[in-house]
Amino acid sequence: MKPADYKATLSFSNGSASVELPVYQGTIGPDVIDIRKLYAQTGMFTYDPGFLSTASCRSAITYIDGDKGELLYRGYPIEQLATQCDFMETCYLLLYGELPNAKDKQNFTRLVTMHTMVNEQMQFFLRGFMRSAHPMAVMTGLVGALSAFYHDSTDINNPKHREIAAIRLIAKLPTLVAMAYKYSVGQPYIYPRNDLSYAGNFLHMMFATPCEEYKVSPVLERAMDRIFILHADHEQNASTSTVRLCGSSGTNPFAAIAAGVACLWGPAHGGANEAALNMLYDLQKAGGVAKIGEFIKQVKDKNSNVKLMGFGHRVYKNYDPRAKLMQQTCNEVLDELGLHNDPLFALAKALEKIALEDDYFVSRKLYPNVDFYSGIVQRAIGIPVSLFTAVFALARTTGWIAQLDEMIGDAEYKIARPRQLFVGTPQRDVKPIAQR
Ligand code: SDX
């Protein structure tokens, strides 16, 4: 680590000796106080459940300014990447730090394309699940199971192993997600096609059948590609932190990514897009726009435990830039499909408008996040609600892998092992059972 830019002094009101702590400045964003020696110097830990004020690592991949509503992948604004690049260029950028030129892009895309098939044995894992199993339960199993097939690339400390594992994961996730979908609807699996784009291939594996040719719609292909770009990475969110912590034990990349899939499943995180759409469905069934006022009242009532899913964010205290882009994509797809009067989209826009005028949300800086509109777009494309988070995991795999690779490549990384504030019972002796 470079020398401190300046120092912080920690003093105590109980007369304990004060300590000086180094402070580092990043390229942009908040400075950090280095507390690595705090325990040695003071015998004390810091306390930050949920890590609201804790930087777990140094990273050069993604930067978020929550107040300005800015998201940068390797310095490029998400608005520019989502409109001027495609997902393969974004993957290359996240993994290698620079946007590819035409030749690099062609080579990278070809490399990914040549790894899209999975071992035929993978089908037998699926057979173990009920057809009604939640796709994220299936995906957690399938991604972890990949480590059983690639013993040639499980040494996380070998850069070559990490690179081929990254390509395999980016290439095979769409195939696995599509297989999970086909299994759930009882249709035959559709093999990947090397003549299609990454997004086009995913749509083909999802919706083609052996009975007739499936033509990929360029608008849906572009929308799918943009959904992948918008979900590709997001700094040290819960699932990325899970991947980093899991990978810090030296486990193989497939196991670490499977841990990320499991974490993303939660409704407070990647599961929010599924929860947001179900919330809109329920609101529509209850009476639609006319019932929004009643619903908002429920959300404000702490005892109701009802949240406005797809709203709020730990970091964005202004509009999530991805939500704006997702709403635009929504418009394009619904127009293309002649669904511009889609009642659910109209309901979502009405709900957003009312929420953004209500002081409860404004005072808590609650704005739509990436999950608020992504469900409506995916539903319009024909993706079932239960598969939304699996699509999120497909896209976020690139970010997870880039972050894992950065951590392993950082000479300072150690196995992650947080401490605690112990509030349990001090030592005591076991009594014989007759005396308990
Ligand atoms: C993702 O971290 C990432 O970057 C995640 C992600 C990524 O790309 O990886 O961006 C993807 O996970 C997006 C977030 C998806 N989750 C949801 O949409 C679920 C609904 N949102 C909430 O669960 C919540 O907003 C969180 C979990 C996203 C953030 O919660 P925080 O930062 O811990 O904030 P909080 O829970 O402390 O809320 C502050 C206040 C509370 O009210 P008060 O106690 O102050 O009175 O806001 C309220 C909360 O009750 N609140 C909400 C709300 N979110 C927060 N009230 C109603 N509806 C909501 N959605």
What pLDDT does residue 155 have? Answer: 84
The token pair at 369 is 């996040």
What pLDDT does residue 1 have? Answer: 65
What pLDDT does residue 2 have? Answer: 76
Instruction: Identify the residue whose C-alpha is closest to ligand 1 atom 25.
Output: 312
Using the atom order of ligand 1, give the atom closest to the CA of residue 267: 19
Rg, C-alpha atoms of the chain: 24
- Which pLDDT tens digits describe the chain residue by residue (436 residues)? 678 889 999 999 999 999 999 999 999 999 999 999 999 999 999 999 999 999 999 999 999 999 999 999 999 999 999 999 999 999 999 999 999 999 999 999 999 999 999 999 999 999 999 999 999 999 999 999 999 999 888 888 889 999 999 999 999 999 999 999 999 999 999 999 999 999 999 999 999 999 999 999 999 999 999 999 999 999 999 999 999 999 999 999 999 999 999 999 999 999 999 899 999 999 999 999 999 999 999 999 999 999 999 999 999 988 899 999 998 998 899 998 998 888 888 999 899 998 889 999 999 999 898 888 899 899 999 999 999 999 999 999 999 999 999 999 999 889 999 999 999 999 999 999 999 9
Q: How far apart are CA 332 and CA 334, in angstroms?
A: 6
Query: Per-residue DSSP letters for 417-435?
Result: -------SPPP-PPPPGGG
Concerning whether 313 is annotated as a catalytic residue, the answer is yes
Using the atom order of ligand 1, give the atom closest to the CA of residue 369: 13
Which member of 231, 313, 320, 405 is catalytic? 313
Say how many Å lie between the CA of residue 315 and the centre of ligand 1: 9
Say how many Å lie between the CA of residue 71 and the centre of ligand 1: 18
Between the CA of residue 335 and those of 106, 130, 380, what are the distances in Å? 32, 37, 10
Residue 297 Cβ < 6 Å to ligand 1:
no
Using the atom order of ligand 1, give the atom closest to the CA of residue 276: 18
Of 1, 48, 56, which Cα lies nearest the Cα of 415?
Answer: 56
Residue 234 Cβ < 6 Å to ligand 1:
yes
Q: How far apart are CA 151 and CA 97, in angstroms?
A: 28
pTM: 0.94
**Amino acid residing at 257:** I
Of 374, 337, 403, which Cα lies nearest the Cα of 230?
Answer: 374
Q: What is the Cα 240 distance to its own chain's centre?
A: 7
Question: Pairing between strand 32-33 and 19-24?
Answer: antiparallel
Which member of 225, 320, 371, 405 is catalytic? 371
Model pLDDT for residues 119-148, shown as the tens digit of each residue: 999 999 999 999 999 999 999 999 999 999
Give ∠ CA 229-230-235 in degrees, rounded to 5: 105
Of the residues 314, 371, 374, which should be mutated to test ligand 1's pocket, given the most ligand atoms within 8 Å of the CB? 314
